[in-house]
Amino acid sequence: METTSSTLDKFGEDDIFNTVLRYGLFVAAIFQLICIASSIFLPTSQESQETDGEIGEEQKQSTDIINAARRQHKIRKLEKKKRR
């Protein structure tokens, strides 16, 4: 009984497509790791910090307006109860 590498190999020899696909997947995985590492370790730029600050101020102002409207509604509701 002769065991050669051709009988142990389930899939046969790799063709060009399988080789390109395998190396392409390795390159894609390395690229993803680099992107994840850069998003973790690199500091944010000054421009993005400034725009984030402006957005935060706008959100803060809008929540203040909403809270003021709620307070006014409660005050009017209490005044209406007092009149009854």
Token pair for 54:
């402006």
The predicted model gives 34-52 an average pLDDT of 77
pLDDT of 37 > 80? The answer is: yes
pLDDT digits (tens, 9 = 90+) for 5-34: 556 667 677 789 989 999 999 999 999 999
Token pair for 22:
């395998």
What is the pTM (predicted TM-score) of this model? 0.41
Distance between alpha carbon 10 and the CA centroid of its chain, in Å?
A: 40
**First CA to last CA distance, the chain:** 104
Three-class DSSP category at 7: helix
Token pair for 36:
């994840």
- Work out the percent of the chain whose per-residue pLDDT is above 70: 73
